[in-house]
Amino acid sequence: IIIQHDNGYITIYKHCSQIIKKERDVVVQGELIGLSGNTGKNTTGPHLHFEIWKDGRPINPKEFFIK
């Protein structure tokens, strides 16, 4: 799942067992977009691969989580 946000940000969610939203759907903050799954090679259980990009460059997602 790839979501385009304002100001050049995109977020990427991988290894979903189910994708809830469809391409070009509008997503509201807090809305369910998919379910984590056990997809990919060498996985040991359900998990989420999460990325944040800004203007084509990866950003450490840790900066966006509340402590």
19/65 Cα distance (integer angstroms): 23
Residue type, 36: S
For the chain, 67 residues long, give each residue's pLDDT as a single digit of tens.
999 998 999 999 999 899 999 999 999 999 999 998 888 788 888 888 999 999 999 999 988 888 7
Tally of domains within the chain: 1
Cα angle 42, 34, 38; round to 5: 15
The CATH number for 57's domain is: 2.70.70.10
Predicted pLDDT at 66: 80
Structural domain harbouring 57: 2-64
CA distances from 11 to 25, 42, 44, 45 (A): 15, 24, 24, 22
